Chain A
Amino acid sequence: MVLVGWMQSVNNAQDTLQSDLNADYFVEAEVSNVTPFVGEEVTYIFRYYAFNLTAGIYDDLPDFEGFWLSEVSQLVTPRVETINNRQYSVMEVFAVLSPLRAGQLIIEPGVLDVPETLFDDATMLQTNQVVVNVQPLPEDAPDNFFGAVGQYDMAVTISETTTMIGQPISLSVTINGAGSLERLTAPQLPVIEGWRAYRSETGYRSSDIGGLRLGEKTFEWLLIPDNAGTQVLPPIIFSYFSPQSQSFVTLTGESFSIEVFPTASGERRSPRQFEVEDNSLAIFPVIGVLRTESNSQGILFWLLWGIAPFASFGIGGMLFLRDYVSRRNRTQRQALAISRFSQRLTSSIDLPADDFSTHAEQILLDFVSDKSGKSLQTLLEAESILKENITRDGVDLFLRHFTEAQSLRYVPQDYQSSRKLYVNDVVDTMRKIDRSWRVS
């Protein structure tokens, strides 16, 4: 969108230009009208003059505190302006504003960042502050004035001039002209006896013709008749304040005569959703104690929310910890199984024959238990575990050593050499079994 012309310059642009005569780039800001009325649209223009085509980044719009910001637009392509025999490219940004209150309003400076180039450092340019003196609206506002300021026209249409009881017709009010149509609220619908009114669609569109922002806003109501007969819809009245004539203008729409036919079953009056005769509401008797409950729950209620997750994940966490500790112990036992076996068997070499034999059997079973992480009592259980984890030859060797341990019960204690041989042999075998144990 391009907006040009019709500007009443506030800050004399030439003054600014004189002071920046030799500047390669500079910025300025102004508004189209420095003394608008409350609600009247004004345009804020931010200009960036660049002698070379230096790119600038428009940093941020000012706050526009005290204004209603309707629209922001900018020139699609920069225009060229010659100042003191120097050609400048001029970029313009427009903001359409309406002051919301009377008195002096200040628009803070706009800021533009010029990035670093081969020849120049990065620069931040700042416009002047713009002062707007907003005039209050006159006191004598008509009843139908709801804040519209500008220059408007109104057209009122209805969809049908004949209808039936309960059949809606559409009443449409179109307001067009120049002003802050975007904010415009619907004109007051007069109370129409015997009709129900429901607000329907609202449409808004705007365009710019020759720099003037024109718009159109449409309000629609659905009107439903409750009684048959010829009925007159009173005119819609819309008032606005015209800054040009500095007075309130009241527009009165057309009055419509509607023929309402009875229903298909011949009824001349529609049963409304709620009959007026049905106004006698029954009350409830106050029985017993009166409650003083608050609608908020106490702190204890919210603490209850923590119990379930705490208990559930507490149990889960404990079980996980237990499992973790058990797995860690098992791994340790597995790693130390052979050294424990060797140490225990060697230290029991001096035991009496009977004890040594029993001891050796238990130590062999304990080795399998340590390696597998399972508790076991019998040779059969040990054999089953061994079959799962080592080769057949290994199992046979283990069984042979177990049988030998049993037979050592009958060897006299003096025969230490045969016991030592047995210990060396079985430790050697168990080392091989330990190495070949399948890792689960």
Chain B
Amino acid sequence: MARILTILGLVIMVSSLLSSPVLAQDTDWTEWARQAELAYLNGDYAQASVLYTRLIESGVRDFTVYYNAGSAYYQNGDLGLALSYFLEAQLLNPRSQALNLNIARIRAERVDYLPESNDVVNVLGSATITIISLRELQIITLVVWSFWFALWGIFFISPSLRLRIRILQWVSGVLMVLFLVFMTTRMFIREFRGVAVVTSPVIQVMSGPGEDYLPLYRLFSAAELRLDDVQDNWARFSLGDGREGWVLRDAINPLEG
């Protein structure tokens, strides 16, 4: 048993090492971050937004930077970009209370009322979004997965322990299925039904990918869409209430996560 626990420990350690972020230190980045912070504290939100955006565009994927960029855009009155950066920050640190409060604030303030979609994949994929990040979920699922298979190893090696580990096998099996479902639905949504946020103050939704199609309705800044398809400069999307349409790709900001 001790040997198996050691192996499990090693697996967890290796997976943690493999999944640990690449750390980068750049003096420019630190300077930009300092300047952005100063600009924000002095009430120059436009300058702060520009500097935080520059950091993000240069490759920084940091919760604090995303969060601060969201705050700067919010103060600047740009709900769309603010929500977009807050949602990016949420993918990295979903348990931040301040962040979740700001997201709720923007959803309450935006013009469009957009209920969450009721389809099973969306419900399952969204269930863990404010609890655990996808990376954490993947590591925990791997641990439970490995533990379940380790129990099968014990089952094969030691017939005398079979009865004793039966309950553990069931519990870990159920947990594994549960985590696998949550993980795969989130990965599916990320890959095939990515979220995008409307960043233009108002956009006209068309019935097809072009200006000559029928105009359907309008969406306002900070509306959240699920992207279904992209054709040239047009993106097909669906909303939680079932509405669909096409919008100009430049008017929305797809989340990178």
Contact = CB atoms under 8 A, between A and B. Distances in A.
A147 B212 contact: no
Interface string B81-102: 0000000000110000010001
A103 B138 CA distance: 51
B57 interface: no
Given A185-B243, A290-B24, A273 B156 contact: no
Contacts of B26: 290
Interface stretch (A22-30, A158-166, A168-176, A307-315): A307-315
B112 to A, nearest CB: 9
Contacts of B148: 308
Contacts of A311: 7, 149-150, 153
A135 B210 CA distance: 16
Contacts of B113: 197-199
B115 to A, nearest CB: 8
Per DSSP, are chain B's interface residues mostly helix, strand or loop, or mixed? helix
Contacts of B145: 305, 308
B5 interface: no
A235 to B, nearest CB: 19
A251 B75 CA distance: 38
B15 interface: yes
A188 B205 CA distance: 14
Interface in A228-283: 273-274, 279-283
A301 B18 CA distance: 6
B193 interface: no
A290 B150 contact: no
A316 B134 contact: no
A333 interface: no
> Which of the listed residues B11, B60, B138, B153 has the most CB atoms from chain A within 10 Å of its own CB?
B153
B249 to A, nearest CB: 19
Contact of B61 (A285, A294, A300, A307): A294
A385 interface: no
A285 B33 CA distance: 9
Contacts, number: 167
A194 B27 CA distance: 48
A295 interface: yes
Contacts of B237: none
A127 B216 CA distance: 32
Interface stretch (B66-74, B118-126, B227-235): B66-74
B109 A146 contact: no
Contact of A146 (B19, B68, B218): B218
Contacts of A368: none
A435 interface: no
Contacts of A305: 142, 145
Nearest to B55: A290
A311 to B, nearest CB: 6
B244 to A, nearest CB: 10
A39 interface: yes
A68 B244 CA distance: 13
A298 interface: yes
B146 A308 contact: yes
Range, interface on chain B: 35 or more
Interface residues of A, number: 51
A307 B15 CA distance: 12
B21 A312 contact: no
A197 to B, nearest CB: 7
A131 to B, nearest CB: 18
A100 B153 contact: no
B22 interface: yes
B24 A297 contact: no
Contact of A292 (B30, B61, B91): B61
B34 interface: yes
A316 B153 contact: yes
A208 B108 CA distance: 41
A183 interface: yes
Interface string B149-165: 11011011100000000
A194 to B, nearest CB: 15
A280 B72 CA distance: 10
B256 A100 contact: no
B214 A38 contact: yes
Contacts of B256: 295
A308 B64 contact: no
Interface of B: 7, 11, 14-15, 18-19, 21-26, 29-30, 33-34, 37, 40, 55, 59-65, 67-68, 71-72, 74-75, 91-92, 98, 102, 104-105, 108-109, 113, 115, 133-135, 138, 142, 145-150, 152-153, 155-157, 190, 207-208, 210, 212-218, 241, 243, 256-257
A-B CB proximity, top 7 nearest? A293-B21, A308-B149, A316-B156, A185-B217, A308-B146, A286-B33, A312-B149
28 contacts: A100-B208, A146-B218, A147-B214, A197-B113, A199-B115, A279-B74, A281-B75, A282-B98, A284-B64, A286-B37, A286-B64, A286-B65, A290-B26, A290-B33, A291-B61, A293-B22, A295-B61, A295-B92, A295-B135, A297-B135, A298-B19, A300-B18, A305-B142, A308-B11, A311-B153, A312-B149, A315-B153, A319-B156
Given A101-B214, A319-B157, 16 more contacts: A147-B215, A279-B75, A284-B68, A286-B30, A286-B68, A290-B25, A290-B65, A293-B21, A293-B22, A298-B18, A298-B19, A301-B138, A304-B146, A309-B149, A312-B150, A312-B153
